[in-house]
Chains A and B, each alone.
Chain A
Amino acid sequence: MKTGNLFRKAAAAPHILWSVMFIVFPLLFVIYFAFTDSYGNFTFDNITGLSGYTNTFILSIGFALIATVVCILIGYPLAYFISKTAPSKQKILIVLLMLPMWINLLIRTYSLMSLLDNGGLINGMLSNLGLPKLKMVGTGGAVILGMIYDFLPYMVLPIYTTMTKLDQRYIEAARDLGCNNFQVLTKVIIPLTVPGIISGITMVFVPSISTFYISQKLGGGTFDLIGDTIERQFQNELTYNTGAAISLIMMILILISLAVMNKFADNDEDGGIIV
């Protein structure tokens, strides 16, 4: 069996090598750039300089939080209602729900923009009715709407999945013990679907807080989110050191919050592999 062990050990070697080269090293470069100036000298200036971006961080976190909460409020009832429809219908509804996920985010955001734009369909209809145009693109509301629109399915799907996995006997037991429909929902279904909600939260919050395309298209350049700031440092201003510092802080913030949330969701599927 010794040869067998050797074969199996060697099997993971290419992957380990690849991961070190292209996952670990690049992250080390982020750290290196975050702590050096443009001449390669060690400095804390990049990190301390981030105080100038406090508003960006607050704005990004605020937008992402609002989008996440709205997604839960809209998505939870949707998942619940879908899980209650006839099984044949459920299949169709889930395919429909997944369809937008398969469509590139750029396209979805772009399609929303062409609806909300000054020259878009909604404003076109308003002016046809003789009403004044609404300025939508360029407002914070539009950016948040974009996040909700783009990421809602990612909230619904995990909640729906945990709901369908829910053992019906719990619900019957709750009924048996005197719960009405509403109590069954609040006392049994919601607590038992918390893992689904938590994975929904991570799946909406993380892309929302790091997005730059949504704010570029729907914010009309008025809103500078973390993603926009990083993108600008690397693509236009070429101030890698500041960009690396912002990226590092955002990564740490997100990984910490993911780890904390994972503690609440006993997600056995992937074994809770974060951190």
Chain B
Amino acid sequence: MKESTKNGNVIIKLKDIVKTFDKETVLSGIDLDIHDNEFITLLGPSGCGKTTTLRIIGGFETPDSGHVFFDGEDITNLPPYKRHINTVFQRYALFPHLNVFENIAFGLRIKKTPEAQIREMVKEMLTLVNLKGFEKRNISTLSGGQQQRVAIARALVNKPRVLLLDEPLAALDLKLRRDMQVELKNIQQKTGITFVFVTHDQEEALSMSDTIVVMANGSVQQIGTPEKIYNEPVNAFVADFIGESNIVNGIMLRDYEVSFAKQTFKCEDFGFAPNEPVDVVVRPEDIDIVPFTDSMLTGEVTSVTFKGDYYEIIADIDNFKWMIETTDKVAVGETIGISIDPNEIQVMKKSEFSGMFGDYSSFSDELDKLSDLSQEDEE
């Protein structure tokens, strides 16, 4: 569970990091390896501890216990200005009294880099972030996207081994955000610097990362590639947080056979105790509507929402509300038959999150969006 996806040297190692604020535990024993040249994302809802983890790596917080290693060297108590790590701050934290050039040159000037070299390096950075000709501009005259680029350039010009990004795209609108996602990924690949990216946006995490670290309640839930996290979530929290999921109680009868909704299904999972209670995840898009003759389960449609290229159906199957995404048009009140392929069934061990997620009985798009927004406001 703690393995990372990129091979290569471990550049940062977190060992059993514990942090409390005012007696409230924010991090309860984080272990994490970050590799050279990796784009790693800390993903989780607000309050999960992702930003605190980032700040501990950056040196802005000191853990109550545990250690931070950089290239094998313990840097737990090293102040930020002695670390080969730079940060892109949430609201950029550009210096309002300095222009674009001086903001980017700031770190170099502290290091007493020769003037000619500074000029060259800043120019190079401005080219990298597509801001040529902005040298003399005042920070307050820049758009959000431009400020974002300056913040990245200001950090990268110092040639850090690791770049920390604390929800850097949170303040941008959706379109710009998409563009910056692509651009950030490009910059990371061009420079080969390790990026540690913090976000609560699962889409962002899935599309940018080499490795995703899903966090909740101050601990790491799962580490893996985006595909692995999406297709093989290890518990109900991960399954629910990444994409839409139906999570039902099931019994693992034996290897490759699981029972839920009063039916027995073939699956690809194994290694559980006989008759072990489990959580079963089925993604809405993996459920097919079929004629009753071929159906494994039947249920009554309680709501249909048109989503453009598909319909989102809520169906009551054995007193559990399932979400189904389909291109077939069905009517509310209709009884439908459904079928699930064995490889679309993901069986998970019971966890502290079992029963908390994955039921669409009180589902509403609006509520989902609202909770997303309130998350953005925090952290």
Contact = CB atoms under 8 A, between A and B. Distances in A.
Interface of A: 1, 3-4
Q: How large is the interface on B (under 10, 10 to 19, 20 to 34, 35 or more residues)?
A: under 10
Contacts of A3: 79
A3 B59 CA distance: 14
Interface string B49-83: 00000000001001000000000000000010000
A184 to B, nearest CB: 34
A35 B173 CA distance: 69
Contacts of A4: 79
Contacts of B62: 1
B262 to A, nearest CB: 57
B315 to A, nearest CB: 46
A249 B59 CA distance: 54
Nearest to B60: A1
Across chains A and B, which 4 residue pairs bring their CB atoms closest together, nearest first? A1-B79, A1-B62, A4-B79, A3-B79
Contacts of A1: 59, 62, 79
A3 B79 CA distance: 10
Interface in B9-65: 59, 62
Contacts of B59: 1
Nearest to A4: B79
A210 B337 CA distance: 90
5 contacts: A1-B59, A1-B62, A1-B79, A3-B79, A4-B79
A4 B59 CA distance: 13
A5 to B, nearest CB: 11
Contacts of B79: 1, 3-4
A4 B77 CA distance: 13
B64 to A, nearest CB: 15
A1 B78 CA distance: 8
A4 B62 CA distance: 14
Interface in B208-250: none
A240 B262 CA distance: 96
Nearest to B62: A1
A47 B59 CA distance: 60
A1 B59 CA distance: 9
A132 B146 CA distance: 78
A1 to B, nearest CB: 6
Nearest to B78: A1
A1 B55 CA distance: 13
A174 B175 CA distance: 40
A3 B62 CA distance: 14
A4 B60 CA distance: 12
Interface string B73-107: 00000010000000000000000000000000000
A1 B79 CA distance: 6
Nearest to B79: A1
A3 to B, nearest CB: 8
A6 to B, nearest CB: 13
B226 to A, nearest CB: 36
A137 B334 CA distance: 98
A4 B79 CA distance: 10
Nearest to A1: B79
Nearest to B59: A1
A4 B81 CA distance: 12
A1 B62 CA distance: 9
A84 B59 CA distance: 53
A167 B11 CA distance: 54
A7 B374 CA distance: 38
A4 to B, nearest CB: 8
B243 to A, nearest CB: 40
B149 to A, nearest CB: 29
A202 B60 CA distance: 44
A252 to B, nearest CB: 38
A41 to B, nearest CB: 53
